[in-house]
Every structure is written in C-alpha cells, then in structure tokens.
C-alpha cells in the first residue's frame, strides 16, 4: 500500500467528520498503518473553527474507545483539494459544497463517506436523533471506515 491521505468533511466539523477521523485513526493504529495514511477532518462552513467536537459525539465515541478530545474544528481550505487523495463528505449537501469549490481535474477525489455501503447513502445529522443519533452515526462510520480500508488495501480509491 502506498501512502495515502483522507479528509473527512461535514458541515461544521464538530460531529460527523471528527467522529469519522477518530474511528479511522484507531482502525489504522490497530492495523499498524498509522504512519501510512494521513487523516484530517474539516467543515464546509466555518461556524465552529477552533472548537472541540460536540460533547455528545465525544461521549458516544469514548464509550467505544475513540478519543476525539485533541481535535479542533477547521474549515475546508483550497489546498485540501490537492493535498488529500480522498475527500469524504458526510452527505450530498456537503458533497455539493465541495464540488462547487473543487479545482478542475480533482473531482475524482470527492466521495460520500458511506459510498462503499451503497451509492446513495448519507451519514445522518445526529442532532435530530438525540443521543441515539450519535450512536447510529458511529455504527455507520465504523462500517464505512472498514469498507474504505478494504478498498485502500486492495489499491482501489
């Protein structure tokens, strides 16, 4: 496997994308790949720049052994489009925002996070599902991270 880089993107970078980053980071460490894949997360909007992930995201993640406490929200930067091999959007709205900003020739890097689980699937916004919503997001992101890792291991992107 050659070195690759993945950017997870949601709206504000305080729930879905930092959770995906945390899940993937732990999966990579468990596989001994922590130094072979660069990870980050960002938001399409800058509402929460510098803030820690949502407390409910951190609690749900911690119950499953994921530590999100060091992460801080940031907004997608122009250079992210060339710096990351895979840019994984939580939902179609995020994907549309990314497509509008993406430089010509780099749109093949843009995908939905749940693409390996089904082309039309999106990570739901957990705020509408209460505490259970954050658990459901984790369920989906764990499955998606495993599927992306299988694709990466097979040399597919």
**What positions carry a catalytic annotation?**
10, 16, 125
* Beta-strand runs (E) in 78-137: 86-89, 110-112
Contact in structure between 5 and 38 (CB atoms under 8 Å): yes
Measured at the CA of 15, the angle between CA 122 and CA 155, to 5 degrees, comes to 55
Tokens of 149: 């890792």
Tokens of 22: 């945390």
């Amino acid at each position: 496997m050659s070195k690759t880089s993945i950017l997870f993107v949601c709206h504000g970078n305080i729930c879905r994308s930092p959770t995906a980053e945390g899940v993937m980071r732990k999966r990579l460490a468990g596989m001994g790949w922590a130094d072979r894949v660069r990870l980050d997360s960002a938001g399409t909007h800058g509402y929460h720049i510098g803030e820690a992930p949502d407390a409910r995201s951190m609690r749900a993640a911690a119950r499953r052994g994921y530590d999100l406490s060091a992460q801080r929200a940031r907004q997608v930067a122009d250079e992210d489009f060339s710096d990351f091999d895979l840019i994984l959007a939580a939902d179609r709205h995020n994907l549309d925002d990314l497509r509008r900003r993406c430089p010509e020739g780099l749109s093949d890097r843009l995908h939905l996070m749940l693409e390996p689980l089904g082309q039309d699937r999106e990570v739901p916004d957990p705020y509408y599902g209460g505490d259970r919503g954050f658990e459901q997001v984790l369920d989906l992101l764990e499955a998606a991270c495993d599927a992306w890792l299988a694709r990466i291991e097979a040399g597919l992107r």
